[in-house]
Amino acid sequence: MSINNQNPTLGNTFIRSNPSTPLIGSGKMFPVRVIDISLSSSSNPQSLFQITKGWWGIGAIRFELLNEGSTPKEFPQGNIALPLDSNFKKLPLINEIVFIIAGPSLRILEEGDVEAIDFYYINAVSIWNSSHANVLPSLNYNKSSNDSISLGNIDKGIENNTDNQTEELSLGKTFKDNGSIRNLYPNEGDIIIEGRFGNSLRFGSTATQPSGSLEIQSPWSTTGKNGQPITILRNGQSKADIDFNNWYPIYEDIQNDDSSIYLTSGQTIPIKLGSTNFASFGVDAVPVANTTKLIQDSPLDNSSISNKDLDDVNNPYDIINQEPDLSTEVTSSI
C-alpha cells in the first residue's frame, strides 16, 4: 500500500506522520459498514461468536470499509469491533454505518503487549434520520432485477426473465423492515429515547405553541403553563393515519398507541374511558347527572292531583334529595 494513496482505507486512516505517536492516542474515527453482529451462539470456529470468545463478545460486529472490503493484515484483530459503551448499547443492523475508534485491548494484560489495540464502535449514523433503520448498502450488493430484458425487446414479444430476482437486502436474521414507523415530534428542550419499533420514552413539558403554529402543538399542551414537566413511556405506535406521510413526525397518542404510561403535572390528557365501572376502587366515574332531567322523569304518586297539592311542606326533604350521613364526621372544638 502506498503512503500517498488518498483513498480512505483502514490502513492509511491510521498512518502517523510521527511514528513515535501512539496509535490509540490519535483519537481518529472512521466510518464502516456492518456486515455481521454476534448475537447468538455458533459452533463454527470461523463464526464471529467463536472468534470473539463466545458469550464474552456478544454485541461485537464484523465490518467492511465503505469503498472496499479488504482488511489490512497489520492489525491482528482484523475487521472486528466491540461496543464502546457496555452500559448503554444501541446494537446496529446489518448494512448500517457506524464509526470505529481504536482503543486499548484486553491483550495488554493477557499477552503483555503494551501496544495492543482493539476497535470499538459507536452508534449508527442516521443516514435516513429514522428511528427505525438507517441502512446504507454497498452499491454493488445486488445489481440484478426483474427488468433483465429491455423495453424494446419486450415490445417485440420477448418475455422477461422471471428467474432473475432481486435479492432482498438483509438487515439481520430476525429484524423486519417496517416503513410505517415514524419519528416522534420533538418540542423545545425535550429529551427523547426512541426504539426501532414504535417504543419510546419522552422527558418533555407543556409547550403551548403560538397561534400560527397550533397544528404542531402536542395533545397535552392545551392547558397549563409552559415548562410543566411530563414523562411519557409508550410501547407501540398508533396505526391511525400511518399512510398520510411516513416522514411526518407524530406525537404520542394515548387513545390509539398500544400501551403507555403518562406522568403528568397539571396537563390535561385527552383520553376516552373504555369503562366507567370503577366500583372495585370505590370510585364513581359516571358523568355528572342532569338533575333537571331526573326531576322531570320522576313518576307522580297520583297523576290526578296537582303538583302543588302533592308537595308536602311538612317534609324536610323531598324525593330527589338525600341528607348526608354525618355519623362518620369527625368533630373538633376550637
Task: Tell me the per-residue pLDDT of 184-232, one tens digit each, with 9 for 90 and over.
Answer: 999 999 999 999 999 999 999 999 988 888 888 999 999 889 999 999 9
3 state SS of 309: helix
Average pLDDT of the segment spanning 20-43: 77
Task: Tell me the per-residue pLDDT of 145-198, one tens digit each, with 9 for 90 and over.
Answer: 444 555 555 455 555 555 555 567 888 889 988 888 999 999 999 999 999 999
Whether residue 99 sits in one domain with residue 199? no
Residue 120 domain flag: yes
Residue 152 domain flag: no
Assess contact for 1 and 12: CB atoms under 8 A.
yes
- The DSSP annotation for 72-140 comes to -TT-TT-SEEEES-SSS--PPPTTBEEEEEEEE-THHHHT--TT-EEEEEEEEP-SS--SS--B---TT
Q: Average model confidence (pLDDT) for the chain?
A: 77
Question: What's residue 316's pLDDT?
Answer: 54
Where is the domain boundary, 228, 263, 298?
263
Range of the domain at 24: 10-124
Residue type, 321: N
- Pairing mode of beta strands 191-194, 199-205: antiparallel
Structurally, the chain folds into a number of domains equal to 2
Whether residue 93 sits in one domain with residue 17? yes
Residue 210 domain flag: yes
CA distances from 274 to 76, 100, 258 (A): 61, 50, 14
Whether residue 107 sits in one domain with residue 22? yes
Assess contact for 136 and 97: CB atoms under 8 A.
yes
Helices (H) and strands (E) in the chain, counts: 6, 9
Where is the domain boundary, 212, 231, 263?
263
Q: How far apart are CA 254 and CA 260, in angstroms?
A: 7
Whether residue 117 sits in one domain with residue 197? no
Given a cut of 90, whether residue 128 has pLDDT beyond it is yes
Residue 325 domain flag: no
**Residue % of the chain over a pLDDT of 90:** 39
Residue 225 domain flag: yes
Where is the domain boundary, 215, 243, 263?
263
Residue 254 domain flag: yes
3 state SS of 293: helix
Task: Tell me the per-residue pLDDT of 32-49, one tens digit each, with 9 for 90 and over.
Answer: 999 999 999 999 998 899
Q: Which residues pair with 96 in a beta bridge?
A: 135
Q: How far apart are CA 228 and CA 206, in angstroms?
A: 5
Question: What's residue 150's pLDDT?
Answer: 54
